[in-house]
Amino acid sequence: MTLALLPLGLIALYQTNAVVDEATRLSHASLLHRTEQAAARERELLQRAGGATEGLAAAILPLADDSVGCARLLKAFTEGANPFTFAGFMSLDGSMECASDGKARDLSGKWFYLKARQTTRLSFALGRDLLGEDGSYLLATSPVLRDGILQGYVSIGVPHKVSAVQPGMEGSDTGIQYVTVDAQGEILSASVPEQQAPLALPMSLPRRDLVNRSGDTFFEASRSGRERFFAVSEILPGQVSVVGSWPVENAMSAARNPASLMTVAFPLLMWLAGISVAIFGLQRMVIRHLSALRKAMRRYALGERENASLDLAAPPREFAEAQQSFNRMVSILSEAERRRELDLEEKTILLREVHHRVKNNLQLVASIMNMQSRNAQTPEARRMLAQLQRRVRGLATIHRSLNTNPDITTVDSHDLIDALITEIGAMIPGAGQKLTISTDLAQVPLSQDQGVTLSMLVSEAMTNAVKNAGVPDGGKPEILVSLRETAENWLELEITNTKGQPVIPPEEAGDGTGIGARLMMAFATQLEGEAATHETEDRYTYRLGFPVQAGAVPPEVPSPGKEQHAAETVT
């Protein structure tokens, strides 16, 4: 839309600028015409003065040597129906023996005489104190020739005054000023006092160049320091011009008028208004709907399912279709998620039920073994059944932990080992009364398979530690169990028992068969761990370091009967 409106705006701007330029030209022409009108009387007066001096120059030749007749002629001329107040004839040496007032004068040092000597045609100059009074006259001076030979000069005095505005002319108080200058740059007359006349002229132009600027209009700073509008009009070709000066704020120039600037700026404002309307329409019709759609998609992606449907306010057809598609997608996905959650909940319930039933079955088996051990005839049979019962109850403990854990996919290492220790302590006769078991267990989530393997290993190691625990000299029998996370994803299990006087009598402990040691080695291999033992005079320690593989499926548990490495019996 912006690119479409730009050419129209440029064309309108060009056309408006052309109209403004034409209006400016007409305005300047109007001001120049007003300058010419204001100087009309001055032009007529100077033209009459020029014609009169040339006529007197021809009429005075017969009386050039008759001073009385010459004075009589000039007096009659000034008393006639004309605006001239003085007339005189000067000889070549600057003496004036013939004048309209009958007085002889020496004018050889006067400026108008010197100026007349420099030209051979009509000239104008100011004559100061010519009649012995304060003030000045505008003198028109023409050469007097006889057979082409210069005999002297005839001068006529013109009142030194120019009206700023003619009577009845519009704008008489607009601050307009007029000054007439000749080709030599001399100020001949002005509509302001004589002392202020130079200040009404342009500053950067020499006065002698103003005659050559006839017909021009321009803005320029005056010699008074203020910017003004100037118009130069010709009065006598090549000799005298009038310079009109207007205040800038009153000059009727389209280029300097705020209204004209507004006219030039109107197309640009219209273009900006078009862009604004286009942006508003884009915001109203597109952007706000896109923003609402984006927010709805983000909320749905972040899991917000309440009020997930999209509701656009008066959307266009395309966005209405997008809204319908989005709401349909949300409905389908929400229904699929609901069904998936139901399926997951059902599977979780079923899996918990499986673990619960397995635990109950294992406990039932353990109870049957307990009943069988009571009816066993030999101590060896009772010990074998007790060991089997302990292992079965250890498995039952695993399934109980899986059944009670909120996350059925993992097992908490702390809860698992703590439950196993409680079970083992309760199963060994007399151990719970004399033997102290201390734990320092880290809470690390383990996979189900790794948790089962670790629980079986801890069960065998704890059984071995309880069976071989002793009372040290001056101390109490105890077992220390710790599980620490020594590095990232690396656990270290440590089971330490004291040595000394056996806690469990040898006849109850029996002789080891080596099955527990082989099972511990097999379980350590399955955990991909590194097992080590450390023995002192009063303590025995079993240490196993293994990586945490939450969620990983470990290799198949090797059968103890197939284990290729002999394990040492923990004593």
Residue 504 φ then ψ, to 5°:
-100, 130
In this structure, whether the domain defined by 43-158 belongs to CATH 3.30.390.10 is answered with no
Indicate the Cα dihedral angle 20, 22, 27, 31, nearest 10°: 140
> What pLDDT is stored for residue 563 in this prediction?
37
The CATH homologous superfamily of the domain defined by 409-562: Histidine kinase-like ATPase, C-terminal domain (3.30.565.10)
With CA atoms as reference, report the closest residue to 341 among 303, 382, 392.
303
> What pLDDT is stored for residue 194 in this prediction?
77
Residue 455 φ then ψ, to 5°:
-65, -40
Report how far apart, in Å, the C-alpha atoms of 18 and of each of 6, 257, 260, 410, 444 are.
Answer: 18, 16, 12, 85, 85
> What pLDDT is stored for residue 347 in this prediction?
83
From the centroid of its chain, how far is CA 278?
Answer: 21
Residue 559 neighbours by CB distance under 10 Å: 9
> What pLDDT is stored for residue 253 in this prediction?
47
Q: What residues contact 113, with CB distance under 8 A and at least 6 apart?
A: 90, 94, 107, 141, 153
Helix/strand/coil for 379 = helix
> What pLDDT is stored for residue 565 in this prediction?
35
Q: What is the rounded CA–CA span in Å between residue 59 and residue 120? A: 18
Domain 2-39+162-258: give its CATH code: 3.30.450
Query: Residue ranges per domain, the chain?
Result: 2-39+162-258, 43-158, 262-343, 409-562
> What pLDDT is stored for residue 509 in this prediction?
59
Helix/strand/coil for 175 = coil
Exposed, middle or buried by CB within 10 Å (0-12, 13-18, 19+), for 489? exposed
With CA atoms as reference, report the closest residue to 499 among 534, 545, 550.
534
C-beta separation of 140 from 53 below 8 A: yes
What single letter denotes the amino acid at residue 59?
A: A
Residues of the chain predicted below pLDDT 70? 1-2, 4-6, 8-9, 13, 19-20, 23, 128-136, 159-174, 250-264, 266-267, 402-408, 427-433, 506-513, 550-571
> What pLDDT is stored for residue 513 in this prediction?
66
> What pLDDT is stored for residue 482 in this prediction?
93
> What pLDDT is stored for residue 504 in this prediction?
75
> What pLDDT is stored for residue 95 in this prediction?
85
Question: Which string of DSSP letters, residue by residue, matches 84-121?
Answer: --EEEEE-TTSEE-EETTS--EE-TT-HHHHHHHT-SS
> What pLDDT is stored for residue 47 in this prediction?
81
pTM of the model: 0.41
> What pLDDT is stored for residue 495 in this prediction?
93
